[in-house]
Amino acid sequence: MDSSAARLDRARGRRAAALEILGELDLVRRWQTCGDPVVVGSVALDLVVEADIDLEIYSEVPSVARGFAALTPCAELPGVRRLRFTNALDLADQGLYWRLDYEAAGGETWQVDMWWLPSGHPGPRAADLVGPLREALTDETRNAVLTVKEGAAEAGEALAGVWVYQAVLDHGVRTYPEFAAWRARTPTDRLTTWLPGRQHS
């Protein structure tokens, strides 16, 4: 049976790869010309399983033109295969979204999700989760999160991390089958304002 130490080691290795990619693409510096970039999600929490990197950028007024000016040079970098954009300022997410697909040296494609949000964004914001989750997670619950995420990856299913964290911390979920059962009775197709220790979703 796989050990928690092995899972944590894999996650740390994946996080190191993610940070290397961020450096190669110089994304933090590029976004600093537009606002305040924050690494969020599994990379910020050292719980990386999927080849996925998440950034949020905050400024007073997100700008389509400035966002493209910052990111367009990335399209010429080796390994960058695709760059997509969605204007969701008037939708529930209330932001501008870019997705960059990057093929690493070993052939694996990493997805970089970038949301540029207004500073006064009402939430939910992934940046607000990072600190509380770092405080709430223990070695045991970190192992549970990785167990669920790796089970989902083996099943070919993409998961939104916030629901995994909620299931593990608030509902005692420890395995992927337990998570699947929890999700079957929980609406997870919406935005959530959940934070650790707060029971509402």
Could you tell me if 103 and 39 lie in one domain?
Answer: yes
The two tokens of residue 177 are: 């089958």
Could you tell me if 156 and 109 lie in one domain?
Answer: no
Query: Would you state the pLDDT for residue 105?
Result: 87
The two tokens of residue 143 are: 């192992």
Closest CA to 45 of 126, 107, 159: 126
Could you tell me if 118 and 152 lie in one domain?
Answer: no
Average pLDDT on 67-89 reads 96
Could you tell me if 22 and 77 lie in one domain?
Answer: yes
Dump the DSSP string for 138-166. Answer: -HHHHHHHHHHHHHHHHTT----HHHHHH
Could you tell me if 118 and 137 lie in one domain?
Answer: no
190 within some domain: no
Sign (positive/negative) of CA torsion 9, 10, 16, 18?
A: negative
CB within 8 Å of 71: residues ≥ 6 apart = 30, 83, 98, 100, 114
Domain harbouring 93, CATH code: 3.30.460
Question: pLDDT tens, 157-177?
Answer: 888 899 999 999 999 999 999
Question: pLDDT tens, 174-189?
Answer: 999 999 999 999 988 8
Of 122, 151, 174, the domain-final residue: 122
Q: What is the rounded distance in angstroms from the CA atom of residue 138 to the CA atom of residue 144?
A: 10
Cis peptide before 122 (omega within 30 of 0): no
pLDDT confidence bin for 198, thresholds 50/70/90: low
Could you tell me if 99 and 12 lie in one domain?
Answer: yes
Give me the half-sphere count of Cα atoms (radius 13 Å) on the Cβ side of residue 50.
Answer: 22
195 within some domain: no
Could you tell me if 8 and 63 lie in one domain?
Answer: yes
82 within some domain: yes
Does residue 106 have a pLDDT over 90? no
Could you tell me if 62 and 134 lie in one domain?
Answer: no
Query: Would you state the pLDDT for residue 4?
Result: 87
pTM for the model stands at 0.92
Question: pLDDT tens, 45-62?
Answer: 999 999 999 999 999 999
198 within some domain: no
What is the SS3 assignment for 80? strand
Enclosing domain of residue 171: 128-184
- 137: Cα separation from own chain's centroid: 17
Query: Would you state the pLDDT for residue 148?
Result: 96
84 within some domain: yes
Residue appearing with tokens 């690493």: 104
Task: Count structural domains, the chain.
Answer: 2
Could you tell me if 142 and 114 lie in one domain?
Answer: no
Q: What are phi and psi of 5, to 5 degrees?
A: -60, -40
Query: Would you state the pLDDT for residue 201?
Result: 43
Could you tell me if 91 and 160 lie in one domain?
Answer: no
16 within some domain: yes
197 within some domain: no
Residues 143, 8: contact at Cβ < 8 Å? yes
Q: What is the rounded distance in angstroms from the CA atom of residue 110 to the CA atom of residue 168?
A: 26
CB within 8 Å of 68: residues ≥ 6 apart = 85
Could you tell me if 152 and 133 lie in one domain?
Answer: yes
194 within some domain: no
Could you tell me if 116 and 138 lie in one domain?
Answer: no
